[in-house]
Amino acid sequence: AVTSASPSIRPISRGAVYKICAGQVILDLSSAVKELVENSLDAGATSIEIALKEYGEEWFQVIDNGCGISPANFKVLALKHHTSKLNDFPDLQSLTTFGFRGEALSSLCALGNLTVETRTKNEPVATHLTYDHSGLLTSEKKSARQVGTTVTVKNLFSNLPVRSKEFSRNIRKEYGKLVSLLNAYALISKGVRIVCTNTIGRNAKSMVLKTQGRDSLKDNIITVFGMSIFNCLEPVSICISEGCKVDGYLSKSGQGSGRNLGDRQFFFVNGRPVDMPKVVKLVNELYKGANSKQYPIAIMNFTLPTGACDVNVTPDKRKIFFADEASILHALREGLQQVYSSTDVCYLVNKVE
Ligand code: ADP
Ligand code: MG
């Protein structure tokens, strides 16, 4: 309402600021789990288990065998903008870790109930830690665990009433999105075993995803999608410019799928799953030229030198800016045109035989 007097400008309370900012990093279930999985990868884990209760609505947990967290860091672990991965802005140019803003754990604290159990190789036992909504350490006790870290989040969004309702209402959809994201990590991560389970009511936990931690993209595709789907794909490798390339697998032109496989099109930049609407559009468009009735499965990783892209665009780091987007798209178009014109020939030859 407009009042006659100029309203005074006051600071927003700290609690409110936490909630507002946290809601930008953690948009939904999949962005919450994504942050934890990325922390495990950053910690050098070779085994990551994601456990969900009621599709993640009641709680979710990420259990890893990474380096663990040393006791000196227990107090600052969940404070906003506290990170072990970045010191200063220039570091942003040369980042090789998934996390760097020091916002994930503090955001999860603000939006749910966070507990951490961790042990490094220097500790004889593990420690179980709880944090309050502002990221302060509230309890610390000894526990039993191998080296590594378990992070548990209960009641995500419970203190944001509107989002909490939306979360419950859309839980199946959120879960579907999460499984697709975990598939993305399962495809791209080499030498990391990824397991996801879900427990409903008093039932035994059911297996959602299980990979072996193989060493090649090919083997990962076979584990995630199976041999028959792998046989419908062909490898692509396109050179964009000095130091820039795209590698991956695409449906052969005669062997796509009838439905629009948003859940089977995966794009990565330097091993980081990202949303690339323009690339998606280009791949689908070129595939349509070779096969107008189907959609391609696509698993493509862009290798770009640091400095050629900026992942620091949105808080969830899914969006990416390319320094030279036009020439990347141009080179990709030319490369894909070649792929599909040559497989077209094979396809026709096969048909004639
Ligand atoms: P960021 O990943 O941007 O540094 P986070 O809030 O995600 O910020 O994590 C804060 C810090 O906690 C990390 O920098 C890291 O040192 C530590 N950490 C979080 N999760 C793990 C884990 N699973 N294993 C080891 N260390 C972790
Ligand atoms: Mg992180």
Is the domain of 96 the same as that of 191? yes
Residue nearest to atom 23 of ligand 1 (CA): 40
Lowest-confidence segment of 95-104, 179-188, 206-215, 273-282 by average pLDDT: 95-104
Q: Which domain holds residue 248?
A: 232-347
Number of domains in the chain: 2
- Expressed in angstroms and rounded, the spacing between residue 18 Cα and the centre of ligand 2 is 17
Give yes or no for a contact between 55 and 46, defined as CB atoms under 8 angstroms apart: no
Task: Tell me what the mean pLDDT of segment 157-178 comes to.
Answer: 92
Asked if residue 8 belongs to a domain, the reply is: no
Is the domain of 28 the same as that of 173? yes
* Closest atom of ligand 1 relative to the 104 alpha carbon: 6
Asked if residue 327 belongs to a domain, the reply is: yes
Residue nearest to atom 8 of ligand 1 (CA): 102
pLDDT at residue 25 is higher than 80 = no
pLDDT band at 261 (very low <50, low <70, confident <90, very high): low
Write down the pLDDT at residue 32.
95
pLDDT band at 314 (very low <50, low <70, confident <90, very high): low
Asked if residue 227 belongs to a domain, the reply is: no
Q: Is any atom of ligand 1 closer than 6 Å to the C-beta of 102?
A: yes
Write down the pLDDT at residue 349.
39
- Expressed in angstroms and rounded, the spacing between residue 87 Cα and the centre of ligand 2 is 14
Is the domain of 73 the same as that of 181? yes
pLDDT band at 346 (very low <50, low <70, confident <90, very high): very low
Write down the pLDDT at residue 272.
87
pLDDT band at 268 (very low <50, low <70, confident <90, very high): very high
- Expressed in angstroms and rounded, the spacing between residue 273 Cα and the centre of ligand 1 is 19
Task: Tell me what the mean pLDDT of segment 196-221 comes to.
Answer: 93
Strand 206-210 versus strand 193-199 pairing type? antiparallel
Write down the pLDDT at residue 262.
60
Write down the pLDDT at residue 91.
56
Residue nearest to atom 1 of ligand 1 (CA): 102
Is the domain of 239 the same as that of 143? no
- Expressed in angstroms and rounded, the spacing between residue 297 Cα and the centre of ligand 2 is 30
Write down the pLDDT at residue 65.
98
Task: Tell me what the mean pLDDT of segment 159-182 comes to.
Answer: 92
Q: Of 156, 180, 210, at which residue does a domain stop?
A: 210
Q: Of 157, 176, 210, at which residue does a domain stop?
A: 210
* Closest atom of ligand 1 relative to the 77 alpha carbon: 12
Both tokens of 41, joined, read 């990868």
The residue with greater pLDDT, 142 or 340, is: 142
Asked if residue 6 belongs to a domain, the reply is: no
* CATH classification at residue 59: 3.30.565.10
Is the domain of 236 the same as that of 198? no
With a pLDDT cut of 70, the percent of the chain lying above it is 88
Both tokens of 188, joined, read 């791209």
Instruction: Give the tens place of pLDDT for each residue, 293-308.
Output: 888 999 999 998 877 7
Is the domain of 151 the same as that of 297? no
Is the domain of 191 the same as that of 265? no
Q: Is any atom of ligand 1 closer than 6 Å to the C-beta of 105?
A: yes
* CATH classification at residue 311: 3.30.230.10
Residue nearest to atom 21 of ligand 1 (CA): 39
Average pLDDT taken over every residue of the chain: 86
Is the domain of 163 the same as that of 21? yes
Asked if residue 111 belongs to a domain, the reply is: yes
Is the domain of 22 the same as that of 119? yes
Q: Which backbone phi and psi does 190 adopt, to 5 degrees?
A: -100, 135
Strand order in the sheet with 265-269: 233-241, 244-251, 298-303, 265-269, 272-273
Asked if residue 174 belongs to a domain, the reply is: yes
For 190, what's the count of Cα atoms within 13 Å in the CB-facing half-sphere?
Answer: 7
Instruction: Give the tens place of pLDDT for each residue, 242-256.
Output: 888 999 999 988 777
Is the domain of 250 the same as that of 167? no
Is the domain of 68 the same as that of 199? yes
Task: Tell me what the mean pLDDT of segment 134-160 comes to.
Answer: 95
pLDDT at residue 259 is higher than 70 = no
Alpha-carbon distances of 185 from 114, 238, 261, rounded to whole Å: 23, 22, 17
CA pair distance 130, 114, nearest whole angstrom: 6
Is the domain of 110 the same as that of 189? yes
Write down the pLDDT at residue 89.
58
